[in-house]
C-alpha cells in the first residue's frame, strides 16, 4: 500500500555534525536581522505609526496618475497609492498628519470628500485612521505581548523539563523572532498588529516543535542510560523527523490558502507564517538541539563509565 | 485502555451530535431560522465588524477642557465671593489646575483664604458628612492660590467619562443603529462599535458636538466687528449663514441653560415651510424663559450652541408657555440632528475621535467569501495529506478534524464570541495544528509496530506515549494565545480565541474521538497488521 513518507524509515542523519555550521548561520542571520531592524528599519503600518488607510473601489479602472495628482494637491504629505485585487480597487495610505489625534479624522474626511467629488460613484470600502497616542499604546502593548510570551515559555519549559531545555528553547525562540523581524525588514511588509499576531503564532508553533523533540530526548535519556548525549540527540531527532516534517507539512498546507486567497491583510500574514514554519522546523533541528548539546554535555549525561552510576544531575520534576 | 464502556461511547457521540446541532443555526437561511425557537436561532457566531461591515470608533474625552471649565467657573465665583467679603484684589489669574488671586492688601490674606475655601465642593463622604474639599487653598505673600486637589481631578475625570458614556449612548440610540457597543476604555476613553454603519460621518458629527446650548442676550451697544469684546461679553460667530450677521456680541451671563430642556423635536414651520426645532422647558426653565422674555421684548435673544450663534431672533412678546422654536436655515437632517443632540443633553467636555476603523458591508461580504474558500481549501489539503501519509488512520484524523471545526464553531456560537477575519485565519491555522496530535500518535503507533508489538499493543502504546507530548505541545500554544487575548485588541483577540478553542477541542477530537474510531475498527475487523 502506498504511504507518503517525507523521510524514509530508519533515516539516520548525523545532524549534530553540522551543529557549528547551523549555529553560525543562524547567528549571522539573526545579527543581520537586527541590523536591518535599525537600518533601513521596518515599514510600520498605521497601527504603530498612526496615519490613514482608505480602500476605495472606483466605477471604472482607476486612473492612478490623475488620482495621485488630485490627492497630492490636498497637501497632506506623502500619499501612497496601490492597486490590489482588481484594477478598480485602490488602496490609499497617508502618513500621520501633523497635529493631534483629531487631525487624522479631518484628513480622512477630506480624502473621502475629494474622492466623491473627483470620481463620482466611488465607494469607500474601508477607512482606518489611527492617531499618535493610540498608535504608541498599540506598539507598547504589542511589544509587551512578545516579552510576556517569551517569559511564559521560559517558565513553562523550565517547569516541565530541566533548565537546559528551557534555556535552549528561549535562545532558539529569540533567534527565530529576530529572523522574522528581519523578514519584515527585507520584504518591506507592513509591520502592524497582525505582524505581532504572526510573530506570536510562529513562537507558539516553534515552541510546540521544540517540545516534541525535547520530549523524545528526555524519554531517550531514560531508556539509553549510557549513550553519549550527541548520539542520543541525533537519534531523537531522527526518530521524530517524520513527525516534525509531517506537522510542518500539514500546517503549511493549511496556511497556503491564506497566502493565496486571504485578501490584503491576511495575505501578508500567510506569507510570514509560511516563512515561520520553515524557520521553526529548521531551528528545532539545527539550533535548539545543538544548544542543548553544549549546555547538557557532562550535565544531563555522565559520559565517563566511572560516573555512570551517579544519579542524574537534574532529575525530572 | 482500549476498552470503552458503553456510557463513554454514548457521551462522546452525544458531544459530537450536540455540537453539530449547536452549530447548525450558522448555516441555515433566515427563513428557516425564523421558524425555529428563538433561543436556538440566536445561537450563532457573531460576525466581527470586519466581516459584516461597520465602524469602530475610539473616542477620547478632553479632560483638559473639563478642568478648564471648572477653573473658569472658579474665576467667576471667586470674583463674587471676594467682593461679598470685601477683599480687594488686583487680578484673578486662571492657571492649569486652579486660580491665583493677587491681593491689594496682603493683610487680608486670611480673609481671602477663608473666602476661597467656601467655594470648594465636597467630594466623597456619606450622608453623615465626611469627605473632603476639592480645593487646596494656600496663601503666600500678597497672593492666594486655590488649586484642585489630585483626588478632585480624578473624581472630575470619572464623572466626566461616566456622563459622556451616558450621553453617547442616548445619542446613538436615537440614530437607530442596531446593537451598538459602547464601553469605557481606560481612564478617559470610550469605545463605540457600530455594526452595519457604512457611513459613520453622521455619527461622528453627532458625537463630535458637545451640544452645550445656552440662551443669552445680545449686547446691542457693541459692534462685533470691533474685534474686542466689552467686559462681560463674548464675540461669537454665527452659524446661520445667508443674510444674517457673521458674528454677534453676546452677554456672558447665561439666562437659560440647555440642561433645562425636556424635549426637542424637528418640525417644519407651516407658514414658511422652513425646518425648525421645537423645544420644551421644564418648570424652572419655563419660568426663567418667561421672565427673560417679558423683560426684554424688542431685543434679540441668542440661542448659542457650542459657542456658535444658531439664531438670534428678536423677542416679539413674552413667551410663557415653556415652549419655543429654533429656526436657522436648517435642512431636514440638520434639524433632526439638532433635536437629537438637545434631547440627549450636553457632553461635559468635547470628544475626539482618536481611532477609526470602518469597513463597508460589501468588503465584509468579500472577506467572508475569501475566508470560507481558504478554510475549505485548507481543509481539503490537510485531509489529502493525512490520508496519503496514514491511510485509514489518516481518514480517522480527517473526520476528527471535521468534528473539531464543528465543535469550535459550536463553542463560538454558545459563548456568542465574535468571529473576525483574523479569527478565520485562526481556524485555518488550528486545522494544521490539530492534526499534529494525530501525526504524533500515528508515528508512535508505527514505531511500536516496528518494534514488534502486536496490533492492539501498538495502538495502546501509541496513544499513551504520545499523550503527554501532545499536552505539552498544545499548552505552550494556548499560553501564547491567552497572552494575545489579554493584550490584543479587537480583531487580534478573535484570532487568539479561535486558535485556543481549536487547540483545546483538538485534545478531545484528536485523541478521544480518534481512539474510539480506531478501537471500534480494530474490534470489528481484527486486522493482522496496522494500516499505518
Per-position DSSP letters for A90-155, written without gaps between them: EEEEEPPPSSSTHHHHHHHHHHHHHHHHHSTT-EEEEEEEE-HHHHHHHHHHHHHHHHHHHHHHHH
* Angle at alpha carbon of residue B105, lines to B100 and B109, rounded to 5°: 55
Q: Which pLDDT belongs to residue A179? A: 96
Contacts of B402 in chain A (CB under 8 A): none
pLDDT in tens, B365-378: 888 888 989 999 99
E runs forming strands in B323-426: 323-330, 351-359, 418-419
Is the model more confident about B225 or about A221? A221
pLDDT at A136 over 60: yes
The pLDDT tens digits of the residues spanning B280-289 come to: 998 888 999 9
CA–CA distance, B492 with B505 (Å, rounded to integer):
20
Per-residue pLDDT, B128: 66
Bridge partners of residue B280, in order along the sequence? B263, B323
CA distances from B411 to A109, A165, B46, B417, B499 (A): 40, 35, 12, 8, 12
B484 vs A: CB within 8 A:
yes
Give B-chain residues touching A269 at CB under 8 angstroms: 422, 425
**CB atoms A254 and B385 under 8 Å:** no
Nearest to B177 by CA among B158, B155, B157, B199: B199
Is B378 in Cβ contact with A258 (below 8 Å)?
yes
Average pLDDT over residues B327-342: 85
Residue A314: pLDDT band (50, 70, 90) is very low
Closest alpha carbon to B299 in B282, B312, B284, B285: B312
Residue A142, pLDDT > 60, answer: yes
Q: Is the pLDDT of residue B111 over 80?
A: yes
On whether the CB atoms of residues B483 and A152 are closer than 8 A, the answer is yes
Q: Which residues of B touch A123 (CB under 8 A)?
A: 360, 362
A306: pLDDT strictly greater than 50: no
Any A CB within 8 A of B66 CB: no
Q: Does B355 touch chain A (CB under 8 A)?
A: yes
B181-185 and A51-57 beta bridge pairing: unpaired
Q: Do A134 and B58 touch (CB under 8 A)?
A: yes
Chain B touched by A153 (CB under 8 Å): yes
- Judging contacts by C-beta atoms under 8 Å, the chain A residues touching residue B496 are 197
Query: If you average pLDDT over residues A127-147, what whole number do you get?
Result: 89
In chain B, residues with a C-beta closer than 8 Å to the C-beta of A201 are 429, 480, 499
Mutate: best of B429, B465, B467, B485, partner A, most A CBs <10 A: B429
B446: closest chain A residue by CA: A9
Among chain A residues, CA nearest to B421: A266
Q: Does A89 touch chain B (CB under 8 A)?
A: no
Q: Looking at beta carbons, which residues of chain B come within 8 Å of A193?
A: 488-489, 491-492
A window 277-296, beta carbon within 8 A of B: none
Contacts of A142 in chain B (CB under 8 A): 487
B49 vs A: CB within 8 A: no
The answer to whether A74 contacts chain B (CB < 8 Å) is no
Q: Which residues of A touch B475 (CB under 8 A)?
A: 156
B243-281 pLDDT, tens digit each: 567 888 998 888 888 888 888 899 888 888 888 899 999
B378 and A254 within 8 Å at the Cβ level: the answer is: yes
Shortest Cα distance, chain A CAs vs residue B110, angstroms: 43
Convert the pLDDT of each residue in B399-444 to its tens digit. 999 999 999 999 999 988 888 888 888 999 899 889 999 999 999 9
Nearest to B463 by CA among B396, B391, B385: B396
Q: What are the tens digits of pLDDT across the range B224-239?
A: 877 778 877 888 888 8
Chain B environment of A264 (Cβ under 8 Å): none
Q: A7, A66, A36: which is closest to A242 by C-alpha?
A: A7
Residues with Cβ within 8 Å of residue B248, at least 6 apart in sequence: B218, B224, B235, B236, B238, B302, B309, B312
Q: Is A82 on the interface with B (CB under 8 A)?
A: no
Q: Do A251 and B436 touch (CB under 8 A)?
A: yes
The predicted complex's ipTM stands at 0.88
pLDDT recorded at residue B130: 66
pLDDT one-digit tens code per residue, B29-48: 888 888 888 888 888 888 88
User: What's the pLDDT at A304?
Assistant: 41
Kindly state whether B428 is in contact with chain A, defined as any CB-CB distance less than 8 angstroms: yes
Cα B255 to chain centroid distance, Å, stands at 36
Contacts of A311 (CB under 8 A, 6+ apart): none
Gap from B207 CA to chain A (nearest CA, Å) = 13
Q: Which among B203, B221, B236, B206 is positioned nearest to B310, based on CA atoms?
A: B236
Q: What residues contact residue A112 under an 8 Å CB cut-off, 6+ apart? A: A54, A124, A127, B201
pTM, full prediction: 0.83
Bigger pLDDT: B473 or B491?
B473
Q: Which residues contact B297 (CB under 8 A, 6 or more apart)?
A: B315, B316, B317, B318
Mean pLDDT, range A296-316, rounded to an integer: 50
Q: What percent of chain B clears pLDDT 90, i.e. is strictly above it? A: 26
Q: Does B367 touch chain A (CB under 8 A)?
A: yes
Q: Does B516 touch chain A (CB under 8 A)?
A: no
What pLDDT is stored for residue A311 in this prediction? Answer: 43
Please write the tens of the pLDDT for every residue from B76-107: 888 888 888 888 888 888 888 889 999 988 88
Contacts of A282 (CB under 8 A, 6+ apart): none
In this prediction, residue B231 carries a pLDDT of 77
Contact B357 A127 (CB under 8 A): yes
**Cα A100 to Cα A277: distance, rounded to the nearest angstrom:** 41
B14 touches chain A (CB under 8 A): no
Would you call B314 helix, strand, or coil by DSSP?
A: strand
Size of interface A-B (CB pairs under 8 A): 228
Q: Write down the pLDDT at residue B183.
A: 92
> Please, which pLDDT band fits residue B241 given cuts at 50, 70 and 90?
low
Does A254 contact chain B (CB < 8 Å)?
Answer: yes
Average pLDDT over residues A212-224: 90
**Residues of chain B numbered 278-297 and touching chain A (CB < 8 Å):** none
Mutation to test the B interface, candidates A51, A170, A241, A250, most B Cβ within 10 Å: A250
Taking residue B295's Cβ as centre, other Cβ atoms within 10 Å add up to 12
Residue A216's closest chain B neighbor by CA?
B469
Name the minimum distance, in Å, from the CA of B160 to any CA of chain A. Answer: 19
pLDDT band for position A309 (cuts 50, 70, 90): very low
- Tell me which residue in A123, A145, A246 faces B484 most closely, judged by beta carbons: A145
- Cell 508489538: give the residue: B453
The pLDDT, as a whole number, for residue A310 is 40
Amino acid at each position: 500500500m502506498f504511504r507518503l513518507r517525507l523521510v524514509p524509515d530508519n533515516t539516520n542523519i548525523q545532524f549534530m555534525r553540522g551543529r557549528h555550521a547551523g549555529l553560525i548561520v543562524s547567528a549571522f542571520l539573526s545579527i543581520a536581522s537586527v541590523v536591518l531592524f535599525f537600518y533601513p528599519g521596518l515599514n510600520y503600518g498605521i497601527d504603530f505609526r498612526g496615519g490613514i488607510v482608505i480602500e476605495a473601489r472606483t466605477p471604472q479602472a482607476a486612473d492612478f496618475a490623475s488620482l495621485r495628482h488630485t490627492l497630492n494637491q490636498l497637501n497632506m504629505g506623502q500619499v501612497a497609492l496601490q492597486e490590489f485585487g482588481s484594477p478598480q480597487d485602490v488602496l490609499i495610505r497617508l502618513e500621520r498628519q501633523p497635529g493631534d489625534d483629531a487631525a487624522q479624522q479631518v484628513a480622512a474626511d477630506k480624502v473621502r470628500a475629494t474622492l466623491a467629488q473627483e470620481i463620482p460613484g466611488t465607494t469607500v470600502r474601508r477607512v482606518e485612521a489611527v492617531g499618535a497616542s493610540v498608535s504608541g499604546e498599540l506598539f507598547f502593548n504589542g511589544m509587551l505581548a512578545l516579552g510576556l510570551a517569551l517569559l511564559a515559555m521560559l517558565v513553562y519549559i523550565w517547569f516541565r523539563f530541566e533548565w537546559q531545555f528551557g534555556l535552549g528553547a528561549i535562545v532558539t525562540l529569540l533567534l527565530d523572532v529576530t529572523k522574522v523581524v528581519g523578514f519584515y525588514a527585507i520584504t518591506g511588509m507592513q509591520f502592524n498588529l497582525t505582524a505581532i499576531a504572526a510573530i506570536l503564532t510562529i513562537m507558539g508553533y516553534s515552541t510546540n516543535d521544540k517540545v516534541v523533540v525535547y520530549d523524545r530526548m528526555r524519554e531517550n535519556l531514560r531508556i539509553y542510560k549510557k549513550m553519549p548525549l550527541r548520539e542520543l540527540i541525533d537519534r531523537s531527532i531522527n526518530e521524530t523527523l517524520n513527525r516534525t516534517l509531517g506537522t510542518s507539512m500539514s500546517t503549511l498546507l493549511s496556511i497556503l490558502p491564506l497566502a493565496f486567497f486571504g485578501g490584503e491583510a491576511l495575505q501578508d500574514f500567510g506569507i510570514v507564517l509560511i516563512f515561520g514554519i520553515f524557520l521553526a522546523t529548521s531551528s528545532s533541528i539545527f539550533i535548539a538541539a545543538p544548544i542543548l548539546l553544549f549546555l547538557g554535555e557532562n550535565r544531563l549525561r555522565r559520559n565517563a563509565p566511572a560516573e555512570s552510576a551517579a544519579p542524574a544531575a537534574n532529575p525530572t520534576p | 485502555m482500549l476498552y470503552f464502556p458503553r456510557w463513554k461511547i454514548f457521551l462522546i457521540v452525544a458531544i459530537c451530535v450536540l455540537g453539530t446541532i449547536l452549530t447548525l443555526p450558522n448555516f441555515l437561511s433566515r427563513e428557516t431560522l425564523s421558524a425555529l425557537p428563538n433561543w436556538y436561532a440566536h445561537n450563532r457566531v457573531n460576525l466581527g465588524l470586519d466581516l459584516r461591515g461597520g465602524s469602530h470608533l475610539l473616542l477620547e474625552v478632553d479632560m483638559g477642557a473639563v478642568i478648564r471649565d471648572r477653573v473658569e467657573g472658579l474665576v467667576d465665583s471667586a470674583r463674587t465671593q471676594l467682593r461679598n467679603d470685601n477683599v480687594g484684589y488686583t487680578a484673578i489669574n486662571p492657571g492649569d489646575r486652579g486660580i491665583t488671586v493677587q491681593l491689594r492688601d496682603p493683610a487680608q490674606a486670611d480673609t481671602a483664604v477663608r473666602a476661597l475655601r467656601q467655594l470648594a465642593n465636597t467630594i466623597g463622604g456619606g450622608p453623615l458628612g465626611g469627605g473632603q474639599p476639592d480645593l487646596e487653598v494656600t496663601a503666600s505673600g500678597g497672593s492666594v492660590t486655590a488649586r484642585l486637589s489630585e483626588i478632585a481631578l480624578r473624581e472630575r475625570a470619572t464623572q466626566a467619562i461616566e456622563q459622556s458614556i451616558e450621553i453617547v449612548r442616548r445619542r446613538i440610540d436615537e440614530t437607530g443603529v442596531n446593537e451598538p457597543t459602547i464601553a469605557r476604555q481606560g481612564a478617559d476613553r470610550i469605545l463605540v462599535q457600530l455594526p452595519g454603519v457604512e457611513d459613520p460621518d453622521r455619527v461622528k458629527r453627532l458625537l463630535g458636538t458637545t451640544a452645550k446650548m445656552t440662551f443669552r442676550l445680545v449686547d446691542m451697544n457693541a459692534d462685533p466687528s470691533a474685534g474686542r469684546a466689552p467686559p462681560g461679553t463674548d464675540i461669537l460667530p454665527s452659524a446661520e449663514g445667508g443674510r444674517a450677521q457673521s458674528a454677534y456680541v453676546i452677554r456672558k451671563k447665561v439666562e437659560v441653560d440647555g440642561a433645562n430642556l425636556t424635549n426637542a423635536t424637528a418640525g417644519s414651520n407651516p407658514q414658511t415651510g422652513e425646518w425648525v426645532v421645537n423645544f420644551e422647558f421644564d418648570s424652572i426653565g419655563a419660568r426663567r424663559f418667561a421672565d427673560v422674555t417679558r423683560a426684554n421684548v424688542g431685543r434679540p435673544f441668542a440661542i448659542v450652541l457650542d459657542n456658535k450663534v444658531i439664531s438670534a431672533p428678536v423677542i416679539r412678546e413674552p413667551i410663557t408657555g415653556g415652549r419655543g422654536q429654533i429656526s436657522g436655515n436648517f435642512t431636514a437632517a440638520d434639524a433632526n440632528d439638532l433635536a437629537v443632540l438637545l434631547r440627549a443633553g450636553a457632553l461635559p467636555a468635547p470628544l475626539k475621535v482618536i481611532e477609526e476603523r470602518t469597513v463597508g458591508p460589501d468588503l465584509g461580504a468579500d472577506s467572508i467569501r475569501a475566508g470560507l474558500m481558504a478554510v475549505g481549501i485548507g481543509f481539503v489539503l490537510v485531509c489529502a495529506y493525512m490520508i496519503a501519509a496514514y491511510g485509514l488512520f489518516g481518514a480517522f484524523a480527517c473526520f476528527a478534524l471535521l468534528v473539531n471545526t464543528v465543535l469550535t464553531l459550536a463553542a463560538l456560537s454558545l459563548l456568542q464570541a465574535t468571529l473576525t477575519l483574523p479569527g478565520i485565519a485562526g481556524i485555518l491555522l488550528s486545522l494544521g495544528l490539530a492534526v499534529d496530535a494525530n501525526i504524533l500518535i500515528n508515528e508512535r503507533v508505527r514505531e511500536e509496530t516496528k518494534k514488534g508489538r502486536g496490533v492492539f499493543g501498538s495502538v495502546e502504546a501509541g496513544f499513551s506515549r504520545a499523550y503527554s507530548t501532545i499536552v505539552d505541545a498544545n499548552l505552550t500554544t494556548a499560553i501564547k494565545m491567552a497572552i494575545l487575548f489579554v493584550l490584543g485588541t479587537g480583531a487580534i483577540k478573535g484570532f487568539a480565541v479561535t486558535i485556543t478553542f481549536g487547540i483545546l477541542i483538538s485534545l478531545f477530537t484528536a485523541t478521544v474521538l480518534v481512539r474510539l474510531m480506531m478501537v471500534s475498527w480494530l474490534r470489528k475487523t481484527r486486522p493482522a497488521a496496522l494500516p499505518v
